[in-house]
Structure 1
Amino acid sequence: MNLKETDLPGIGKKFVVQTRSGEKLAIIIHDDGRREMYHYDEENPDDRTRKIVLDDDEARYVSAIVGGVTYQPTALENIEVALGGLIIESYRLESNFKAIGKTIGELRIRQRSGATIIAVIENNQKKHVNPGADLMLTANATVVVIGERLHQQQIRHILLNGSV
């Protein structure tokens, strides 16, 4: 299996998978969350067909792409805004998150991830806009963060595991 990944500025990402059987599948994930899938005939690459056969590991890989595991479009439900590479994303702190019971300062969020927490909305709907380092994170709170895509990946890891 061969995979080619291409950024489509202003649109999203394009993934082209060439299967071991020689078939080609193009998947376009738009920033608004739409997915387009095209199957191309190996003899006539301009003709799209409707059916493709994937073996088990190919199907799992394609499902990861389509499911947003390898790339999250900027308009998925947990992403609020994308501005010039900066993304505002929210994270609900499930009971298994290691960040629960720790303060923003203890987690050293900004230093370790490059992202900034701009708000925390507690389970009782109490809002903390521009919270300080002494705010303790609680279960089921929603943490609103601004940063670039890499920063968002790092903060997600910190909130879940307590470390980068």
Structure 2
Amino acid sequence: MTTRSTKLPGVGTQYDISTRAGRRVSVVAHQDGRRFLAFYTPDDPDACQATVPLDPDEAGSLAKILEPGEAQTPGLGTCGLDIDLVTVRIPLTGHSPYSGEVLGETKARTRTGASIVAVLRRTGPVPSPTPDFRLETGDVLVAVGTKEGVDELTRIISGT
């Protein structure tokens, strides 16, 4: 296992971890306390599969869970909800009515309950895109929601 840190001026620090199995995971620690986890494909260690934004509380909870030797993590429990969430990738083709439009125009969460949590673009991933983020043909939207919600969002984005 190897680790490497890289200062990101004005942002924070990126920590790269290469596991013994050859997988690569990164954590970008922003100066304001936010964290982003990034996962990379084993066959192309530079291709980001997905990113997960974490606020300071979420990052702290994850750190407690990952700490070796912890049989039970104090303060963490079940919330009593049994919700099956799925993550999908939705390609944005030239046939989409949202190609060239801002993300907010999709009204994804309002219409489907699903959230667009990242946009994968050829130039790199964009975690937590804002409503004014302009979509382009070739983007891949990463959405999280119920199966029904992401299916409906896929239909809406594809324009079918």
TM-score normalised by L of structure 1: 0.45
